[in-house]
Structure 1
C-alpha cells in the first residue's frame, strides 16, 4: 500500500485551511484525544526498544556516531533573563546563532567544572552540547527546553536529592558563563549572551528503532536522528511529491499555513484523487489525526471543517 503521512504543527497554530482542504477534512475519518506534544506525535510513528525517550543519545549518534556504550545528557547553551518574579528561559540551542568560534571560546571554560565531576562536555554541533556519563548514572527528570520556553526557570529545576547535584552544577556553570568575556563581545556585536545551560534528554542509545514507514523525511534534528537510527532517513523536499511505499513527511516546523497548504496539503490531496497514493494521514501535534481515502469523496453530505481541530 502507498500511504503518505504528514506530521503537522498543533492545530491551534494552523488556522483556517483552503476550501479544498476544508472539504477533505470534513469527509475524513478522525481520531481525537490522542496524546499531545512532539514526543507523543513521534511515538505514534516510531518504536524504541527499550521503550524510553533518550533524546541526547539519539541526537549524539546522529551528530557524532559515538553514542554507544555511555549515557548522554544534553547541556544545551541557553539564555536566561532575570525578571521581577525570577528568571525565564528565552533562547536555547539554534536560536542563539552560535558558530564554531563561540564553542571554541566558551566550552574550554566549562570543561574543568564538568571534567572534575566525571562527565566530559563537548559540542559536535555548535547548538547541541553534550555531557558523557557513566552507563550506571541515575538521572532526575528534566524538562525539554521547548516545553519551558518563556516560563520561570525555577519551575523546571531538577527536584529532590537526585537533582541537588545538577542544581549545583547549573549554578556553577552560570557563574562561569556570566563572567566570560566572550559574552561581552557577543553583546557588543548585537548577539544574545550564552549565560546558562539546559540539561535535558538523558539516556542511553536504544537497542532498536523501528518504524512502519518505508521513507521518513525528517524535519528537526530529533526526527532526523530517529529516521537515521531506523535506517530510513531521506532529505526533506521543498514540496510534496508522491512516491512508492509508506512515506512520512515531518512538517511540524512549518508556521506558514499558505505555503503548507499550497506546497504540501493540496498536492497530497491531488495524489490521493489520482490514485498515486491509497491513503493520506494528517497527524497534528495536539493529538488529532485525520485519515483520508478516495472513497470518502462520496461523503458529500458532510460539511467542510473550518480548522484542523478534531
Structure 2
C-alpha cells in the first residue's frame, strides 16, 4: 500500500465563527489534537506557510501575470485591480474587487482606455489580459510601498490601507487621478442601470518579479483564490476548485478561508475528513487558521480520552 496522504484545511480566523459550536463528535476529536499557537497571523502569512518562494516574498502580480499572459519574465509587476469603494458616514470601504465585479472584456477595455495615458506617462503601462485582473509593468528598480492584499481589506476603511512611507506620495497621487477618471466614466452609469457596482477605484497590490522558484509540499490544491491557484500551478501542483470532500490521492491543501458557518464546515469537511482519518484513509488532518493557530489531528490521538472536547475554533 502506498503512503497515505495528509490533508491541510486553510481556515479563516477562529473568531470569524463567533459563538458557533462544533458538533459533539467533531469537538471530541479536535479536543485531542496537537495545538500550535505560534504561527503568525494574517492570510498572506498563512499562505506563505504552505508555499515556498525564492527569493523570499509574495510576488502575486508576477506569478498571476505569467499564468494569464506568459510574459512576466524580465520585468516587475504590480496588480492594479478594478475596485469598488463605497463611501459611508465614517469614510469609505472596499466592497468589491477583481472578478467579483463581474466585468466582461469590453467593459474592462473601455475602463482602461482613459487610464492608459495616465499610467503610460508615468512609465508604467497598464493592461488587463483577464477582465478582473489588471496589471502595471514597472520600470526596473521601481521602489514600492507596502500594499495590503484586497481580500484582507474587504469591508474595512479604505483610508487605513493607503500607501505609506517615502514612496507613498506618488502612488496616492496616481490613485487619486485614476479615481477621478473612473468616477466620470460612462461605463459606470451603464453598470448602475444593470444593478452592478461601479468600478470607481484601483487596488494596488502584489508587486514583485517572477520568482526563481516556487515550491510546496501539497501535490493537490483546491482553491477559488486566483493568487493561491497561480502559486500552486507554478509549484507544479494540481489545481481545482473545492466542491465536496473526497479522500485525496496525495498530500492536499484545501482553501476554506471563506467559510463562516461552522456547522456546515463541520458537516461538509471536518466530519468526513475525521472519518477518513479514523479508517486510515488519510495520515493526518491539519487545520491552519488565519490567526496563527494550527491543529494537527492523527489517528493515534484517539486514546487521549481524558482531553476535553474543543467546542469552537476561536
Instruction: Give the TM-score range, shorter chain.
Output: over 0.9
Mean CA deviation greater in 94-103 or 152-161: 152-161
Q: Which residue of 2 aligns with 1:72?
A: 77
Q: How far did residue 85 of structure 1 move?
A: 4.4
Q: Which residue of 2 aligns with 1:158?
A: 163
1:92-131: CA deviation from partner (whole Å, max 9, x where unpaired): 2233222223212211121111111111111122221111
1:136 aligns with 2:141: yes
Residue aligned with 1:278, SS: strand
Match of 1:90 among 92, 95, 113: 95
1:223-268: CA deviation from partner (whole Å, max 9, x where unpaired): 1011101011231352221233322222222333333222211111
Residue aligned with 2:71, SS: coil
Match of 2:15 among 6, 12, 16: 12
Change (3 A) 1:261 1:200: same
The TM-score normalised by the length of structure 1 is: 0.93
Report the Cα distance in structure 2 between the residues aligned to 1:103 and 1:48, rounded to whole angstroms.
31
Match of 1:287 among 281, 292, 300: 292
Is 2:242–2:255's contact at 8 Å kept on the other side of the alignment? no
Q: How far did residue 161 of structure 1 move?
A: 3.8
Q: How far did residue 63 of structure 1 move?
A: 2.1
CA RMSD of aligned residues (A): 1.8
Report the Cα distance in structure 2 between the residues aligned to 1:238 and 1:155, rounded to whole angstroms.
35
Q: Which residue of 2 aligns with 1:102?
A: 107
Mean CA deviation greater in 181-190 or 220-229: 181-190
Mean CA deviation greater in 279-288 or 8-17: 8-17
Report the Cα distance in structure 2 between the residues aligned to 1:234 and 1:210, rounded to whole angstroms.
14
Report the Cα distance in structure 2 between the residues aligned to 1:272 and 1:143, rounded to whole angstroms.
37
Q: Which residue of 2 aligns with 1:63?
A: 68
Q: Which residue of 2 aligns with 1:233?
A: 238
Is 1:220–1:253's contact at 8 Å kept on the other side of the alignment? no
Change (3 A) 1:284 1:160: closer
Report the Cα distance in structure 2 between the residues aligned to 1:274 and 1:75, rounded to whole angstroms.
47
Q: How far did residue 87 of structure 1 move?
A: 3.1
Q: Which residue of 1 aligns with 2:214?
A: 209
Q: How far did residue 83 of structure 1 move?
A: 4.1
Is 2:220–2:252's contact at 8 Å kept on the other side of the alignment? yes
Q: Name structure 1 gaps, 5 residues minimum.
A: none
Match of 1:270 among 275, 286, 292: 275
Is 1:219–1:236's contact at 8 Å kept on the other side of the alignment? yes
Q: Name structure 2 gaps, 5 residues minimum.
A: none
1:118 aligns with 2:115: no
